[in-house]
Amino acid sequence: MVEVNGTEIPDLDPDLLTPIDVKLSQIAENVKVVTLETSPECMLTSNVDYLIGDKYIIARDMNGVYQFATDGSFIRKIITYGRAPGETSVLPTLCLVEDEDLLIAMANGVSGTDNYQFRLSSGGYLGKCGSVVLESRETLISCRYLGDSIIMFSYYSYTSSPNPDPQTVVSGVKIQKMNGEVLFNKEFNYLSWATPGPYLTLLEGSRIYLLSTNDPEEYILQIIDQDTVYKLNTTDYSMEPIFLKRFEKTKVDGIPVDFYVENCTYEEEEFANINGYQLSHYGYFESLEKGFNSRCFIIYDGNKETAYKVGTFENDYFGFSHSTEDEIKDIYPYLIDPAKMLVEVYDAFTFLQFAYEALDNPLLDQKVRDRLLDITGKVTETSNPVLLIGDMKKKFDL
């Protein structure tokens, strides 16, 4: 524990944690499998992002945005990339608002970052509804819909100048109405050296991701490459630190660096904090020659202010085992937005590899064996991903 602004908060250093073995059944319940329908109209590429609600699963890849039912059946391609009405020119940032029958897509356009709205029940394009208020040098990162036509989003700017001036770089969080009226704006003086490729370096404002929680008025601010994690109340705009995460060890001129730097730990995006629990994923980049070496999976229990470093994660629903010592089997669960569920995503090829290996185990539980045989009979190597979805337990059994 350390004192920040007169308040004691947990001080987390993953390197000081002793790894423990964790099973899926210890942290999740009501687990189900969703095999996304595969057809020429909905062939997903790699690097797919998901939003999962009570009625729909939204998948976004490099070709567009697709709408599935929660049983995996394909409904429609709801957004196409392009410049025609109802199309977005770039990959949009999405908000799934099932209680208002809306999918909101925010995409950078010629005149700024526009809000496109689509009717979930019909796929109909409802038009643009205002724009995100950003300066010309600022870029949208993460967004959440707060209800009553109010959105919250994070942003940052960057410079690639040979001698960058830190005063010209910003990052922050805004809350505004759809008509553009800004209700709250908080800027941070957090900076990062970003390396989107091994031969390019930018000075940018640290990226801020907005983690939803069980409380619709409360969000967690995950600031990449920085120690402090904040809690923000969207009603009275109060903000307070809740814990520190001491994982970033590499700095240049006192500013932390992103990956593609030798011996660099990097932080992956998180989406939610559910029942007081947060799942954190860190990667390690060893060198340009050796590349990405390993991952670290941390479970933070905000109820007990305790953290766990996972050595081996066993998906006992499938009979799979993922170890941080094995570079191939580094698939771990994450918490999805809206803040309800835990998800593991397997591309079909990888899932079948794991499944056949598990089926070769003579000690595999018969129920698990029957489950795998059923799924492998429906999935081919070119099928869409297999999603495992479960409810987070209110109390972990660790």
User: Average pLDDT of 124-143?
Assistant: 86
CB count in 10 Å sphere of residue 181: 11
Counting residues of the chain whose pLDDT is more than 70, the rounded percentage is 96
Q: Which residues, listed in sequence order, are joined to residue 152 by a DSSP beta bridge?
A: 144, 175
Pairwise CA distance, residues 318 & 388, whole Å: 9
Length of the chain measured in residues: 398
> Is the pLDDT reported for residue 327 higher than 60?
no
Q: What is the pLDDT of residue 212?
A: 95
Pairwise CA distance, residues 272 & 210, whole Å: 8
> Is the pLDDT reported for residue 328 higher than 70?
no
> Is the pLDDT reported for residue 285 higher than 90?
no
Can you spell out the DSSP letters for 254-281?
TEEB-SSSTTEEEE----EEBTTEEEEE
Q: What is the pLDDT of residue 373?
A: 97
Q: What is the pLDDT of residue 294?
A: 74
> Is the pLDDT reported for residue 102 higher than 80?
yes
Amino acid identity, residue 74?
F
For the chain, helix, strand, coil in percent to 5 are 10, 55, 35
3-state secondary structure of 58: strand
User: Average pLDDT of 317-322?
Assistant: 93
Q: What is the pLDDT of residue 70?
A: 96
For 248, phi then psi, to 5°, come to: -80, 110
- pLDDT confidence of 171, banded at 50, 70, 90? very high
> Is the pLDDT reported for residue 324 higher than 70?
no
For 58-82, b/e burial (b = at least 16 CB within 10 A) is bbbbeebbbbbeeebebbeebbeee
The tens digit of pLDDT for each residue in 177-196 reads 988 899 999 999 999 988 77
Between the CA of residue 380 and those of 71, 352, 353, 376, 384, what are the distances in Å?
Answer: 18, 8, 11, 7, 9
Helix (H) or strand (E) holding 373, with range, is helix 366-376
Question: What DSSP designation does 383 have?
Answer: S
User: Average pLDDT of 106-133?
Assistant: 83
Q: What is the pLDDT of residue 53?
A: 94
> Is the pLDDT reported for residue 2 higher than 60?
yes
> Is the pLDDT reported for residue 323 higher than 90?
no
> Is the pLDDT reported for residue 13 higher than 80?
yes
CA angle 318, 213, 60 (to 5 degrees): 60
**Closest alpha carbon to 280 in 291, 265, 292:** 265
> Is the pLDDT reported for residue 122 higher than 70?
yes
User: Average pLDDT of 73-87?
Assistant: 87
Give the chain's mean pLDDT: 90
The tens digit of pLDDT for each residue in 39-58 reads 999 999 888 999 999 999 99
Torsion-angle region of 285 (φ positive above 0: left; ψ -120 to 50: alpha; else: beta): beta
Q: Is the peptide bond before 338 cis (omega within 30 degrees of 0)?
A: yes
The least confident of 152-156, 233-237, 266-270 is: 266-270
Highest mean pLDDT among 100-114, 176-190, 314-328: 176-190
CA 356 to chain centre: 29
**Closest alpha carbon to 172 in 230, 249, 128:** 230
> Is the pLDDT reported for residue 82 higher than 70?
yes
CB count in 10 Å sphere of residue 254: 6
